[in-house]
Chains A and B, each alone.
Chain A
Amino acid sequence: MNMELSRRTFLKTSGAGIAGTTLGAFGFSEAEAAVAAAVKPFRLVNTTETRNTCTYCSVACGIILYSKGDLRKGEKANIVHIEGDADHPTNRGTLCPKGAALLDIVKSETRLTRPMLRKAGSDRFEPISWDAALDKIARAMKDDRDANFIPTNEAGVTVNRWLTAGFLAASATTNETAFATYKVVRATGILAFDNQARV
């Protein structure tokens, strides 16, 4: 058993301790033990709390992720519950019908779990390794860019653009991912670059 006490566990344990002492003094110890045995353990006991933001709209409600295991200790972490963050000034703990069901998008049966390739003319995806997929992408970019890069326009002005490739970025990623994406895409000369801001 993980002996590290979360804030919630600590409060619960100390509260129960006081109640137990008092009840014991009045001679209710057996009854209390029977009740305790019948009560389902609080499911967030021994979970790690992590502050996060709802992934849907831009109201950006504060949420708390509860996981078994702690990423910061290098452990695998399995999220078991998500709820609104009562400290957050905008949502003050509330969530909408989408936010309240966030756990089910994290755990969706249609989450992707490994790289896949659909070959030309095929009617199915088949697995491919990360290395093979990334090598294939880089090779395709290099070959297409070298074949179609436009260094100058008809007037001889340096334009350095690559028009046969395009990139749609994701408006649900972080600023940090977006900036890394920006740097890579712009460095190639791609101009067909967009995100959901236009829809």
Chain B
Amino acid sequence: MTNSWTDIKNTDLAIIMGGNAAEAHPCGFKWVTEAKANRGAKLIVVDPRYNRSAAVADYYAPIRQGTDIAFLLGVINQCIINDKVLWDYVKPFTNATFVVKEGFEYHDGLFTGYDEEKRDYDRSTWDYQIGDDGYAVVDETLANPRCVWNLLKEHVAAYTPEVVERICGTPKDKFLKVAEMIGECSAPNKIMTSMYALGWTQHSKGAQNIRCMAMLQLILGNIGMRGGGVNALRGHSNIQGLTDLGLLSNLIPGYLNIPKDSEPDFATYMSTRGFKPLRPNQMSYWQNYRKFFVSFMKSMFGNAATAENEWAYNYLPKLDVPQYDILLAFERMKQGKMNLYFCQGFNPLQAFPNKAKLAEALAKLKLLVIMDPLETETARFWENHGDFNQADPASIQTEVIQLPTTCFAEDEGALVNSGRWLQWHWAGGSPPGEAQHDSWIMAQIFLRLRDLYRKEGGAFPDPIVNLNWAYQDPGEPTPAELAREMNGSALVDVFDPNDPTKRLLEGGKQLSGFGQLRDDGTTASGCWLFTGSFTEAGNMMARRDNSDPGDTGAYLNWAFAWPANRRILYNRASCDLDGKPWDPSRKLIEWNGQKWTGYDVPDIAPTANPREVGPFIMNPEGTGRLFARTMMREGPFPVHYEPFESAVANVIAPKVRGNPAARVFADDWKQFADIGDPAFPYAGTTYRLTEHFHYWTKNNHVNSVLQPEQFVEISEELAKEKGIELGGWVRVWSKRGSLFAKAVVTKRIKPMTIDGKTVHVVGVPIHWGFVGAARKGFPANVLTPFVGDANIQTPEYKAFMVNIEPSTGPVA
């Protein structure tokens, strides 16, 4: 989230699109209720189903799954046509005025540089013109036809209300009503908040769904404002924390990158990470990248990371592909290229698409190690459960070790919530039986592995034997030790180079902010973003002062928020070019003539002159980006692409199948239904229920009583057409697999008219499996396609094609 849950009370208009907060985040959704009750805020819901959020919305519009980009570009088009633009924000605070290079073009759904063979682009033209002064060329009059604004205007013109209706199935009048309500928030004192979740991420173009909203919010001047922003509701309790800490194939904690093969040494690696400002006076904060990286390497490898060995640069593995994401891992596993796999609190057999492919892949492993507080289907993938899990144990040679871990109630430490708050919690119970903390297990594995390398030598032992592991009990590092290590400390006394008598940092002391980090090996920090969370003043994450001066919803003394305890990102943009709040009733910070002051930690240098330094300090432009330059694989502007499986061809680019830059493995292409395939005529989608959390709560007696049995949802019209009874068994199948469930026939789902064709939606809640306290069922992922978003490989769970028929139910 750019903002926080408690900030939602400040909004005038909440739009829930790509999520269902009332169902999936009920206690956070209450802040929407608060805004409605106390300041007359309105709620819009746009969703394929009339869901629980829609039930309490002021306005609901239906949309076909997988068409959000067409809808949102249509809204941007309406804003431009009707001049619903906060110009005093857009001109100085976005790249609207920047001039794009000659050569960049867009035709028929594709940008310049497409290579059909590689399914990838040469992105070299997707950038600004650079002037003789070395800065990007801008035209504040917007007269230049190559200005981002003019290219955007042209790009979105195709998304007329008629085209939106043809693609999305949203009736024109409903679309225009939503666009009008959104457009009103271009006033400086009317603010919209966007609340989204997996309904936007789980598409082959998920990242561009979210970009569309970010662009819209920039045009309306709603980024940086109280009650505004683009807010990812997020799933697991520490999904934000694990992302921040980079437990992903290509990341280093704090959104740094694992090196690539094309970066053989540290100098080459840093050569593309200079982040020279693209406009005069801009902060371009990533210019500090080297300090973050070197401090991380000191945290990892201690004295073994030296200037001479480039801070142990070669201790890190290099990537020959953009990332070894889970889809690629299971593809390689299926090809017999993986032997050993660890699942720490992760149940991929349920959570990843195309269950049949996953099971085939797991059976090719030599050893599967499970660490979990609960039984999982993955741990028992080899067990036969009839229709629910067809398996022949005798033919599966994979060894499985299942290790019992503690759960939240038996563990201490911090979790990062959607609003980036690091909140500390304490253990209240003893673990059951022999269950152990995950940190103990990781330490025990590490110490044994290190011993083997010390005794036997072997392949490149250096990073293992030199890993910094200076904990009081190496067999179990404590949460406090690890938290202090992430925050970081000065390794030696550091003196001011201009005044050697002045000591800047005291060796051995915790750092108080990432501004103190250095690139000469004198500071260590496991994650620069978390610096300030555990200082000499103590554990800032454990703070519990819930006072809220000014009633802003910031709660500055409750826990710690990254970065630097800042509660609303880009909050400099809550003020105009002179540093005065756009809306005095929503004051967050302001420029007092000398410095920035207010209720939040300013997201700008404290003395940065408001007319000189732009609010988007991480970007070399100092502005937000309506044009993404080369940062997105499928283009600098979003384009509507159909899901890989769809009832219709792409209305705006009929020749383009799916997202043209998405990676698809050969075997998976064969398992996609053709466009408009009569064998799979219905648009399937997956979602969650308020009584269940993923695949965990089927292990919980209470939740299994509340929602005991698997079901699918269909419209009354489809039920009538197929002879399906309310409560009767149905079989639902895709080109990849089949499941049995009870039918819920409901008015909440209506058939849609898409480009003249009637399309029915089949809704598939995800929560069932073959272990736990609930009745046995099927993961929705027996149906879903094995393809991910082009940028970050989140699978396309939300839009695929199925068939359905009445049935007699499964055979156990």
Which residues of A are in contact with B by a Cβ distance under 8 Å? 48, 50-62, 65-67, 69, 71, 76-79, 82, 87-91, 94-102, 104-106, 108-123, 125, 128, 130, 133-142, 144-146, 148-149, 151, 153, 155, 157-199
- Asked if B124 is at the interface of the complex by the 8 Å CB criterion, the answer is no
Q: Are B247 and A141 interface neighbours, CB within 8 A?
A: no
Tell yes or no: B439 within 8 A of A by CB: yes
Least Cβ–Cβ distance between A57 and chain B, in angstroms: 6
Q: Which residues of A contact B443 (CB under 8 A)?
A: 180, 184
The yes or no answer to B142 lying at the interface (CB within 8 A) is no
Is B317 within 8 A of A189, CB to CB? yes
Contact with A along B412-446 (1 / 0, CB 8 A): 11111110011101111110111111110111111
Give the distance in Å from the alpha carbon of A88 to the alpha carbon of B423 in the complex: 11
What's the least CB distance linking A25 to chain B, in Å? 41
B328: chain A residues within 8 A (beta carbon): 192
In the complex, the answer to whether B434 meets A168 with C-beta atoms within 8 Å is no
* Most chain B beta-carbon contacts within 10 A, residue among A77, A78, A170, A174: A174
Chain B 230-265 interface mask (CB, 8 Å, partner A; 1/0): 000111111111111111110001000010010010
With most chain B CB atoms within 10 A of its CB, the pick from A77, A88, A175, A191 is: A175
Q: How far is the CB of B777 from chain A (nearest CB, A)?
A: 15
B residues near A155, Cβ cutoff 8 Å: 261
Q: Does B314 touch A at the CB level, under 8 Å?
A: yes
Do B699 and A110 touch across chains, with their CB atoms under 8 A apart?
Answer: yes
- The reply to whether A163 and B337 form a contact with Cβ atoms under 8 Å apart is yes
Cα A108 to Cα B373 with chains together (Å) = 10
Name the A residues within 8 Å of B417 (CB-CB): 58-60, 90
Q: Which of B21-29, B132-140, B628-636, B669-677 touches A?
A: B21-29
Would you give the shortest CB distance from A10 to chain B, in whole angstroms?
Answer: 20
Instruction: Tell me which residues across on chain A come within 8 A of B435, comparing CB atoms.
Output: 111-113
Complex Cα–Cα for A148 and B558 (A): 48
Task: Check if B317 sits within 8 Å of A162, measured CB to CB.
Answer: yes
Q: Which of B452-467 contact A (CB under 8 A)?
A: 452-453, 456, 458-460, 463-464, 467
**A164 touching B243, Cβ below 8 Å:** no
> Looking at the complex, which one of B5, B396, B445 makes contact with A59 (CB distance below 8 Å)?
B5
User: In the complex the two chains form, is B247's CB within 8 Å of A192's CB?
Assistant: no
| CB contact under 8 A between A99 and B27, given known A176-B479, A191-B317, A196-B346 | yes
Cβ-closest chain A residue relative to B244? A175
**Chain B residues positioned under 8 Å from A105 (CB to CB):** 374, 407, 696-697, 699-700
* Neighbour of A87 across the interface among B261, B396, B479, B544, CB < 8 A: B544
A175, B483: Cβ atoms closer than 8 Å: yes
- Give Cα distance in the complex from A33 to B248, angstroms: 63
Q: List 23 A-B contacts (CB under 8 A).
A: A55-B407, A58-B239, A59-B27, A59-B418, A60-B415, A69-B430, A89-B548, A89-B555, A94-B27, A117-B399, A118-B400, A137-B369, A137-B448, A141-B445, A148-B339, A153-B320, A161-B319, A168-B326, A171-B236, A176-B477, A180-B443, A191-B249, A194-B326
Any chain A CB within 8 A of the CB of B404?
Answer: yes
Q: Tell me the smallest distance from the CB of A73 to a CB of chain B, in Å.
A: 12
Nearest residue (CB) in B for A199 is B351
Q: Is the CB of A199 within 8 A of B352?
A: yes
Complex Cα spacing A165 to B341, Å = 6
Are B348 and A117 in contact (CB-based, < 8 A)?
Answer: no
Contacts of A180 in B (CB 8 A): 438-439, 442-443, 477, 482
Does B345 make an interface contact (CB < 8 A)?
yes
Nearest B residue to A158 by beta-carbon distance?
Answer: B314
B402 x A171 contact (CB < 8 A):
no
What would 13 more interface pairs be, CB under 8 Å, given A89-B555, A166-B324, A175-B245?
A57-B236, A58-B238, A58-B240, A59-B5, A59-B25, A59-B28, A77-B429, A89-B558, A98-B703, A130-B444, A133-B401, A175-B416, A189-B460
Q: Rank and list the top 7 A-B pairs by shortest CB-CB distance, nearest first.
A: A170-B345, A113-B433, A174-B413, A65-B428, A50-B428, A112-B404, A138-B448
In the complex, the answer to whether A113 meets B416 with C-beta atoms within 8 Å is: no
CA distance A123 to B395 in the complex (A): 10
A90 touches B27 (CB 8 A): yes
How far does the Cβ of A196 sit from chain B's closest Cβ, in whole Å? 5
A194 touches B703 (CB 8 A): no
Quick one: closest B residue to A99, CB to CB?
B27
- Which residues in A have their C-beta under 8 angstroms from that of B448? 134-135, 137-138
Nearest CB in chain B to that of A116: its residue: B402
List chain A residues, Cβ under 8 A from B244: 175
Complex Cα–Cα for A160 and B319 (A): 10
Given contacts A52-B425, A120-B397, A130-B436, contact A187 B247 (CB under 8 A): no
The residues of A that contact B345 with a CB separation of less than 8 Å are 169-173
The answer to whether B587 has its CB under 8 Å from any CB of chain A is no
Judging by beta carbons under 8 Å apart, are B248 and A56 in contact?
A: no
A71's partner among B346, B393, B427 (CB-CB below 8 A) is: B427
Contact of B344 among A90, A149, A165, A173 (CB under 8 A): A173
Please encode chain B, from 516 to 536, with 1 for each CB lying within 8 Å of some chain A CB and 0 for all others. Answer: 000000000011001000000
Q: State the Cβ distance, B545 to closest chain A Cβ, in Å.
A: 10
CB contacts (< 8 Å) of B326 on chain A: these are: 168, 192, 194, 198-199
What chain B residues lie within 8 Å of A137 (beta carbons)?
A: 367, 369, 401, 445, 448
A171 touches B239 (CB 8 A): yes
User: Would A60 and B421 be within 8 Å (CB), given that A121-B395, A175-B530 are in contact?
Assistant: yes
Task: Give bound CA distance, A155 to B262, whole Å.
Answer: 10
In the complex, which residue of chain A has the Cβ closest to the Cβ of B338?
A: A164
Which chain A residues border B233 with CB–CB below 8 Å?
A: 57-59
Measured between C-beta atoms, what is the minimum distance from B115 to chain A in Å? 22
- Pair B300/A169 contact, Cβ less than 8 Å: no
Tell me whether B399 and A198 are in contact (CB under 8 A): no
State whether the Cβ of B665 lies closer than 8 Å to any Cβ in chain A.
no
In angstroms, how far is the closest chain A Cβ from the Cβ of B414?
5
User: Which of B320, B372, B410, B793 contacts A198, CB < 8 Å?
Assistant: B793
Q: A60-B423, A97-B691, A177-B442 are in contact. Are A79 and B346 (CB under 8 A)?
A: no
Do A166 and B338 have beta carbons less than 8 Å apart? yes
Smallest CB separation, B132 vs chain A (Å): 37
Contacts of B395 in A (CB 8 A): 121
| Interface membership of chain B positions 302-337, coded 1 if the CB is closer than 8 angstroms to chain A and 0 otherwise | 000000000000111111100011101100110001
Question: Chain B's nearest CB lies how many Å from the CB of A197?
Answer: 5
Q: Which residues of B contact A128 (CB under 8 A)?
A: 401
**For B342, what are the chain A residues with a Cβ–Cβ distance below 8 Å?**
165-168
Judge whether B411 is part of the interface by a CB distance below 8 angstroms: yes
Does B693 sit within 8 A of A, measured CB to CB?
Answer: yes
A188 touches B401 (CB 8 A): no
Q: Contact: B245 with A179, CB < 8 Å?
A: yes
Whether A141 touches B467, Cβ cut-off 8 Å, given contacts A90-B417, A115-B402, is: no
Taking a contact as CB atoms under 8 Å apart, the answer to whether B325 and A198 are in contact is yes
Asked if residues A113 and B429 are in contact (CB atoms below 8 Å), the reply is: no
A60 contacts across to B, CB distance below 8 A: 237, 415, 417-418, 421, 423
With A166-B342, A187-B464 as contacts: A110 and B374 at CB distance below 8 Å: yes
Which of A79, A106, A186 is in CB contact (< 8 Å) with B300?
A: A186
Interface members, chain B 102-148 (any A CB < 8 Å): none
A-chain residues with CB within 8 Å of residue B30 when the two chains form the complex: 91, 94
Chain B residue nearest to A122 (CB atoms) is B393
